[in-house]
């Protein structure tokens, strides 16, 4: 069963609408931050949407902390905060990915080979999760 032109056009329109929404929200996405802290709150870190460290807060209880532990804790918390930020960014792109798959599926209904090629190319440029 092949889609008619209006179905294919509707899928492409939805994809374009999702792209416009992402462009409109690009500033919001750029402001995404992730945060992580130790269970006692003695060490807190904050990163941006790219995972770059923005801030480290050390509580009073860390003044006598082992430097090796403190360094390792900051690195681990930074990684956790970056994962948090990445998950938030990923949520913003979920609609775009769904619209992209719909267009790819409809193209594959018309031309299976081209649909597979398009999906392969799209999958190769997606950010790993």
The owner of tokens 């990915």 is: 97
Q: What is the mean pLDDT of the chain?
A: 84
Q: Are 117 and 26 in contact (CB under 8 A)?
A: no
Query: Which residues pair with residue 46 across a beta bridge?
Result: 35, 55
- What is the spatial distance between Cα 23 and Cα 17, in angstroms, rounded to a whole number? 10
Map tokens 């990684």 to a residue: 79
- Kindly list the distances between the CA atom of residue 38 and the CA atoms of 14, 59, 76, 83, in Å, as whole numbers in the listed order: 43, 11, 10, 16
**DSSP letters of 6-23?**
HHHHHHHHHHHHHHHHHH
- Confidence check: pLDDT of 45 > 80: yes
Domains of the chain with bracketed CATH: 5-125 (3.30.1310.10)
Dist. CA 29–CA 33, nearest whole Å: 9
Helix or strand (DSSP H, E) at 64: none
pLDDT of 104 > 50? The answer is yes
Look at the pTM and tell me if it is higher than 0.85. no
As given in the structure block, the two tokens for residue 79 are 């990684």
Q: What is the pLDDT of residues 46-98, one digit of tens each?
A: 999 999 999 999 999 999 999 999 999 999 999 999 999 999 988 877 877 77
Phi, psi of 56, rounded to the nearest 5 degrees: -130, 125
């Amino acid at each position: 069963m092949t889609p008619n032109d209006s179905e294919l056009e509707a899928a492409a329109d939805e994809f374009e609408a999702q792209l416009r929404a992402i462009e409109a929200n690009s500033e919001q996405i750029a402001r995404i931050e992730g945060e992580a802290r130790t269970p006692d709150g003695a060490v807190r870190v904050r990163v941006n949407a790219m995972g770059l460290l923005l801030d480290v807060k050390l509580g009073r209880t860390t003044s006598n902390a082992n430097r090796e532990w403190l360094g390792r804790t900051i690195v681990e918390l930074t990684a956790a905060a970056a994962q948090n930020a990445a998950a938030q960014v990923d949520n913003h792109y979920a609609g775009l990915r769904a619209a992209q798959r719909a267009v790819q599926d409809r193209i594959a209904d018309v031309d299976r080979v081209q649909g597979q090629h398009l999906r392969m190319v799209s999958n190769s440029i997606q950010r790993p999760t």
